[in-house]
């Protein structure tokens, strides 16, 4: 059972809601993102969603688009993202981590490779807002 599932079950048993925080990995740079990730976890986040920036974020609003662009400008790539997430997971192994990205990045990397990289990095879940429901 993933740490995400365990966390959600534990919250449900206590009839509590959970705090899911979100940051774009690499915004404004990797070192500050790592500080931000630790701060939200240490501040009480039950789950941390880490955005993998994409150059055409059609489902995001202007704030997240700008954060993603800053991360891309700072050099964030899928390879660097998975290394970054590994650092977050190493520092906070009990906190569930979720990847938010666009399906194009998943397809480009390959479904099996992306899933394997997620597992190796310590990611418990994936959100792709642009996957068609059909």
Tell me the pLDDT tens digit for each residue of 10-41. 999 999 999 999 999 999 999 999 999 999 99
Q: Say yes or no to pLDDT of 49 above 90.
A: yes
Known catalytic residue at 42: no
The band of 1, judged by pLDDT with boundaries at 50, 70 and 90, is confident
Residues 101, 51 contacting (CB under 8 angstroms): yes
- Please give the Cα distance from 115 to 109 (Å, whole number): 10
Q: Pick the catalytic residue: 30, 46, 60, 124?
A: 60
User: How many angstroms from the chain centroid is the CA of residue 25?
Assistant: 7
pLDDT at 58: 86
Residue by residue, DSSP assigns 60-75 as: S-HHHHHHHHHHHHTT
Residue boundaries of the structural domains of the chain: 18-127
What is the per-residue pLDDT across 53-90, written as a single tens digit (0 to 9) for each? 999 998 899 999 999 999 999 999 999 999 999 999 99
18-127 sits in which CATH class?
A: alpha beta
Q: Which of 49, 56, 112, 124 is catalytic?
A: 49
- Which structure tokens are listed for 46? 């039950």
Between 47 and 131, name the one with better pLDDT: 47
Residues 85-104: pLDDT tens digits?
999 999 999 999 999 999 99
Q: Give the chain's end-to-end CA distance (angstroms, integer).
A: 28
Catalytic (active site) residue 60: yes
pLDDT at 134: 74
| pTM of the model as a whole | 0.94
Model pLDDT, residue 133: 78
């Amino acid at each position: 059972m993933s740490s995400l599932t365990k966390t959600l079950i534990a919250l449900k048993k206590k009839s509590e809601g959970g705090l899911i925080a979100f940051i774009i990995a690499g915004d404004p740079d990797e070192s500050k993102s790592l500080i931000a990730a630790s701060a939200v976890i240490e501040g009480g986040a039950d789950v941390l969603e880490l955005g993998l920036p994409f150059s055409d974020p059609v489902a995001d609003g202007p704030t997240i688009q700008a954060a993603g662009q800053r991360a891309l400008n700072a050099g964030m790539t899928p390879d660097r993202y998975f290394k970054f997430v590994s650092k977050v997971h190493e520092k906070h192994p009990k906190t569930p981590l979720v990847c938010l990205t666009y399906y194009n990045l998943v397809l480009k990397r390959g479904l099996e490779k992306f899933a394997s990289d997620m597992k190796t990095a310590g990611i418990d879940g994936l959100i792709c807002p642009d996957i068609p429901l059909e």
